[in-house]
Structure 1
Amino acid sequence: MTQQTLTVFLAGRSELSLKKLQLELQGIPHAVIESLWIPAVEVDPLGYLTTRPDIVVLELGVDPDAELANLGKTPLHLRPVIFLIGPPDNTVLMRKALQAGVRDYFVRPADANEVAAALRRVVKEKLESGSRYGQLNVFMNAKGGSGATLIASNVAHIMSAELGIATALFDFDFQFGSVGLNFDLHATHTTAGVISDIDEVDLVALEAYMSKHRSGLSVLTHSSQEISLPGEIPEAKVKRLIELSRRLFDQIVVDIPRLFDPVLARVIDEADRFVLVMQQSVAHVRDTKRLLQILRNDMNVPDQRLLVVVNRYSERSSMSLAELKQTLRFNHVYALPNDYQNVAQSTNIGQPLLEFAANAEITRGLISLAELLTGRQRRPAKNLIQRLFPFLD
Structure 2
Amino acid sequence: MLLRRNRETQADAVVSFIGGDGPAALEPQLDAAFGRNAWIAAEIRMAAAPVREIAAEGGRFLVIGVTSEAEAEIKAARELIAQAKAVGLKVILLAESLSPSAMHALMRAGADDFAPLPLPATALAESVARLRSGGSASFGGGSSRHGSVYAVYGAAGGVGATTFCVNLAWETALEVAKAGKQVALLDFNFQYGTVATYLDLPRREAIYELLSDTSTLDEEGFSQALAEYAGRMSVLTAPMDVLPLDIIGPDDVRTMLGLARANYDFIFIDLPQTLTHWSDLVLTEAETFFAVMQTDMRSAQNMLRFLRALKAEDLPVENISVVLNRAPTFTDMSGRSRARRLEQSLSVDFAARLPDGGKQITAACDQGAPLARAAKGNALRKEIRRIARGLVKSAAAAARAETGGAK
TM-score by length of 1: 0.64
Shift of 1:294: 2.1
151-160 vs 367-376, which deviates more?
367-376
Whether 1:98 and 2:102 are equivalent positions in the alignment is yes
| Structure-1 separation of matches of 2:49 and 2:102 | 27
Distance change in 2, residues 1:327/1:54 (3 Å) = farther
1:160-188 CA-partner distances (Å, limit 9, x unpaired): 13432411111111111111011111122
Determine the structure 1 residue equivalent to 2:309.
294
Which amino acid in 1 is paired with 2:324? V
Determine the structure 2 residue equivalent to 1:254.
269
| Structure-1 separation of matches of 2:234 and 2:309 | 31
Whether 1:359 and 2:366 are equivalent positions in the alignment is no
Determine the structure 2 residue equivalent to 1:26.
52
Does the CA-based 8 Å contact 2:100-2:285 persist in structure 1? no
Determine the structure 2 residue equivalent to 1:154.
167
Shift of 1:245: 0.8
Distance change in 2, residues 1:32/1:228 (3 Å) = closer
1:42-61 equivalences in 2 (<5 Å):
55-56=81-82
Does the CA-based 8 Å contact 1:142-1:288 persist in structure 2? yes
Secondary structure of the 2:325 match is strand
Secondary structure of the 2:151 match is strand
Does the CA-based 8 Å contact 1:192-1:233 persist in structure 2? no
1:28-72 CA-partner distances (Å, limit 9, x unpaired): 435799xxxxxxxxxxxxxxxxxxx99436xxxxxxxxxxxxxxx
Shift of 1:325: 2.7
The partner residue of 1:341 within 322, 347, 359 is 359
Aligned residues: 295
| Structure-2 separation of matches of 1:327 and 1:126 | 49
| Structure-1 separation of matches of 2:375 and 2:323 | 21
Shift of 1:274: 0.8
Secondary structure of the 2:344 match is helix
Whether 1:163 and 2:189 are equivalent positions in the alignment is no
Does the CA-based 8 Å contact 2:100-2:280 persist in structure 1? no
| Structure-1 separation of matches of 2:205 and 2:170 | 19
Does the CA-based 8 Å contact 2:191-2:245 persist in structure 1? no
Shift of 1:298: 1.5
Secondary structure of the 2:82 match is strand
The partner residue of 2:189 within 173, 179, 190 is 173
Secondary structure of the 2:246 match is coil
The partner residue of 1:277 within 281, 284, 292 is 292
Does the CA-based 8 Å contact 1:139-1:152 persist in structure 2? yes
Distance change in 2, residues 1:372/1:298 (3 Å) = farther
Whether 1:263 and 2:263 are equivalent positions in the alignment is no
Secondary structure of the 2:53 match is coil
Q: Aligned-pair RMSD on alpha carbons?
A: 3.9
Aligned sequence identity (%): 23
1:68-147 equivalences in 2 (<5 Å):
98=102, 101-102=105-106, 129=136, 131-147=144-160
| Structure-2 separation of matches of 1:208 and 1:96 | 27
The partner residue of 2:224 within 208, 223, 242 is 208
| Structure-2 separation of matches of 1:285 and 1:312 | 14
Determine the structure 2 residue equivalent to 1:318.
335
Determine the structure 2 residue equivalent to 1:74.
none
Secondary structure of the 1:155 match is helix
Shift of 1:196: 2.6
211-220 vs 314-323, which deviates more?
314-323
Secondary structure of the 1:187 match is coil
Structure 2: where are the runs of 5+ without partners?
A: 1-11, 14-45, 63-78, 84-89, 110-126, 138-143, 397-407
Shift of 1:319: 4.0
Shift of 1:252: 1.0
1:217-228 equivalences in 2 (<5 Å):
217-224=233-240, 226-228=241-243
Shift of 1:377: 10
Structure 1: where are the runs of 5+ without partners?
A: 6-19, 34-52, 58-79, 84-93, 106-122, 379-393
Determine the structure 2 residue equivalent to 1:368.
386
Distance change in 2, residues 1:101/1:297 (3 Å) = farther
Shift of 1:137: 1.1
Whether 1:198 and 2:214 are equivalent positions in the alignment is yes
| Structure-2 separation of matches of 1:324 and 1:158 | 29
Determine the structure 2 residue equivalent to 1:41.
none
Shift of 1:230: 4.0
Distance change in 2, residues 1:104/1:153 (3 Å) = closer
Determine the structure 1 residue equivalent to 2:26.
none
Distance change in 2, residues 1:95/1:187 (3 Å) = closer
| Structure-2 separation of matches of 1:260 and 1:327 | 22
Distance change in 2, residues 1:27/1:342 (3 Å) = same
Secondary structure of the 1:212 match is strand
Does the CA-based 8 Å contact 1:161-1:216 persist in structure 2? yes
Secondary structure of the 2:269 match is strand
Does the CA-based 8 Å contact 1:134-1:247 persist in structure 2? yes
Whether 1:306 and 2:320 are equivalent positions in the alignment is yes
Secondary structure of the 1:331 match is coil
